[in-house]
Structure 1
Amino acid sequence: MGLFRRGPKRDPREAPRDGEFSFFSEREGGVFRSQVRQAFAERGLEVTVYAGMVADSGGRQFGLGNLAAVCHRDRRGERVWPAMIRDHVGKVLRTMDGPQPMETLSEDEIRARLFPRVVAEETLPPAESFRYGRAPAPGLREVLALDLPEAVQMLSADSLSDLGEVAELRIRALNNLRALPVEGHETVRRGDGSSFEVVLGDSFFTASRVLVLDDLVERIMGTPLTGDGALVAMPFRHQLAFHPIHDAQVVPALQAMAQFAAAGHEDAAGAISPNVFWWRRGAMTRLSEPDGDGLRVVVDLEFQDMLERLVQDEA
């Protein structure tokens, strides 16, 4: 999974846009939904297709947002959509119709597959089922999830009730997260001398490694973070960017990471946040946010004081 790659052939941006998924043209959206309907029909399931989901006769609903983004971003274009959609629908139905892992796995097996996952809070159901999770930053929520062979299942409070206390389960999940291999690591260097690191991989928990950032940074860089912490960005579930703060290069790094995060978040499957955060001892403060068609960097007094100190140290 590379950071920068040539995009797939798409309809021009001036073509009329799809009402639900603006990265699609109207034509592309129609093709996509038609193929989704066909994939369910091939599985013997008649569905009603809505703009952002499909529903079967039993009332089950299947969201289309992530699948649409995956199709949109695939560099091979529309020719591979049918196979991708059939594969996705097959996995979803096998997961929903098959034995439920919380009923078939032993407690030890469940704990071995347990991971914390950082998600955009807006993607969670409005019910209280996931309110047990802490909010690592505004707009984000940390929930517990099972890593299954064909799916990742986020666990509601009811699902966890028979396993033990959430705090104890979170400790086990964090230990599992620390033990994951680093699938990929790249350094992004800019012409102004600034740089930042990107961890990337197929794991759905790649971006969630921000929860164990101190361990991850020392593992990759060979040195621990200082008390000033790091800049971090989690555009989508398969990428985590960070810049350990050592000197005044944090200023151009912040600008570069803000652009990187916003671009990576747009149209991404498993999108998390377009923002950059200041990470210190596990706490995160937002430093950037979208502003119309551009970006706006917003720093608080504490971050400003740190910048002034770093600049003075180099004087």
Structure 2
Amino acid sequence: MPRDDAFEFFSVHEGALFRRTVREAFAEHGLEVTLYAQHAADNTGRQFGLGNLAATCHHDDRGRRLWPQLIRRHISVLLRTLDGPSALDTMPAEQLLRRVYPRIVDSDLLDRGHFGYARPLTPGLCEVLALDLPDSVMLLNDESLEPLGGVHALRAQAVRNLRSLPVEGHEAVEQDDGQRFHVVMGDSFFTASRVLVLDELVQQVTGRPLGPDGALVAMPFRHQLVFHPIEDISVIASLGGIARYAAAGHEDAVGPVSPHLFWWRAGELVQLSELDEGTLTVTVGADFQDVLERLAEQAEGGREG
């Protein structure tokens, strides 16, 4: 069956139905929009990305009959957020500070003219600050930071808030080929951002501290974080498993973050996987190769002993 050019999880028919319903939902709010492959635009130049909404419809098990309801609700919340007063003007400062979190986003999606403070994490990913509001998540631009205390104080508060998030869901995955990894899941939009406090999260989930070699980690989409503490030779089997898990989870997710596998050590991220036209490869540098060789030698020594 022919697939939609922009959203491959849709057939051509489903893509046309989705966009037609989106246009109708905007029209119900008095807005005439032009539909493009991955976004809609109104006559004032505002653009509305459709990727997350399309993924939400695709993942809803109730089928296409619920799409109009999902789309109308999404667009209603979106327009209410855009057209209403800003939370920065209406919410007390102490309440705003309780709602600020760090968020990991694709660097290409940011206008660096308005997010000059964004902190690079690894090529393709950076950290910004966001407000977790009742109906939406609001990214804070440069102009928003000063009234709240500036970027350094605000980031410190955001990280404290991140540390206080509960672990909503956890699954330990073990395969017959020896790969092992943990999946942390949650409704919070900042679940993937917990990679910023990974050492504390691992201690919380496993009851054991991370060792000096760190962990394999992946953030396929905003509601999921995958990790494997690097302790023994099982890391070799887990490399490919987590890389495939991340690539598959990112492909049609709501709120995609990264399809890649990373090595986390002392708060630094090193990308280990690549996706090129659907082909997944894992490549390790000299530092990580040293870790693998040392763990292999330890395993061999243990068998001989």
TM-score range, shorter chain: over 0.9
Alignment of 1:37-116 (within 5 A): 37-116=23-102
Alignment of 1:176-195 (within 5 A): 176-195=161-180
CA distance in 1 between counterparts of 2:245 and 2:27 reads 39
Aligned residues: percent identity?
Answer: 57
Q: Which residue of 2 aligns with 1:252?
A: 237
How far apart are residue 165 of structure 1 and its match? 2.5
How far apart are residue 98 of structure 1 and its match? 1.5
Q: Which residue of 2 aligns with 1:201?
A: 186
How far apart are residue 228 of structure 1 and its match? 0.4
Partner amino acid, structure 1, of 2:179: S
The alignment partner of 1:58 has SS state of coil
Partner amino acid, structure 2, of 1:52: Q
How far apart are residue 25 of structure 1 and its match? 2.1
What is the alpha-carbon root mean square deviation over aligned residues?
Answer: 1.3
How far apart are residue 248 of structure 1 and its match? 0.6
Matched, 1:23 2:25: no
How far apart are residue 131 of structure 1 and its match? 2.9
Which one of 247, 251, 272 corresponds to residue 266 of structure 1?
251
Partner amino acid, structure 1, of 2:253: A
Which one of 135, 140, 151 corresponds to residue 120 of structure 2?
135
CA distance in 1 between counterparts of 2:24 and 2:67 reads 12
Q: Which residue of 2 aligns with 1:6?
A: none
For residues 22-45 of structure 1, the C-alpha deviation after alignment (integer angstroms, 9 at most, x for no partner) is 332221111001111111122232
CA distance in 2 between counterparts of 1:37 and 1:291 reads 34
How far apart are residue 90 of structure 1 and its match? 1.0
Deviates more, 1:233-242 or 1:101-110: 101-110
How far apart are residue 133 of structure 1 and its match? 1.4
Matched, 1:277 2:262: yes
For residues 209-233 of structure 1, the C-alpha deviation after alignment (integer angstroms, 9 at most, x for no partner) is 0001011110111111000000000
CA distance in 1 between counterparts of 2:83 and 2:155 reads 28
The alignment partner of 1:198 has SS state of strand
Partner amino acid, structure 2, of 1:264: G
Which one of 289, 296, 300 corresponds to residue 304 of structure 1?
289
How far apart are residue 313 of structure 1 and its match? 1.0
CA distance in 1 between counterparts of 2:266 and 2:60 reads 37
For residues 245-299 of structure 1, the C-alpha deviation after alignment (integer angstroms, 9 at most, x for no partner) is 1001000111100110000010112111111100011100011111333210110
Which one of 228, 247, 260 corresponds to residue 243 of structure 1?
228
CA distance in 2 between counterparts of 1:89 and 1:57 reads 17
Partner amino acid, structure 1, of 2:109: T
Q: Which residue of 1 aligns with 2:303?
A: none
How far apart are residue 128 of structure 1 and its match? 1.9
Which one of 288, 294, 315 corresponds to residue 273 of structure 2?
288
Which one of 192, 202, 206 corresponds to residue 217 of structure 1?
202
Deviates more, 1:142-151 or 1:37-46: 37-46
CA distance in 1 between counterparts of 2:37 and 2:260 reads 27
For residues 148-204 of structure 1, the C-alpha deviation after alignment (integer angstroms, 9 at most, x for no partner) is 000000111111122222122111000000001111000111111321000001111
Stretches of structure 1 lacking an aligned partner (at least 5 in a row): 1-14
Q: Which residue of 2 aligns with 1:7?
A: none
For residues 101-153 of structure 1, the C-alpha deviation after alignment (integer angstroms, 9 at most, x for no partner) is 0111122111111000001112223x421231111111101000000000000
CA distance in 2 between counterparts of 1:52 and 1:255 reads 31
For residues 63-105 of structure 1, the C-alpha deviation after alignment (integer angstroms, 9 at most, x for no partner) is 1111112212222221211111011011101111112101111
Stretches of structure 2 lacking an aligned partner (at least 5 in a row): 301-305
Which one of 71, 91, 105 corresponds to residue 119 of structure 1?
105
Which one of 206, 213, 229 corresponds to residue 214 of structure 2?
229
CA distance in 2 between counterparts of 1:79 and 1:252 reads 42
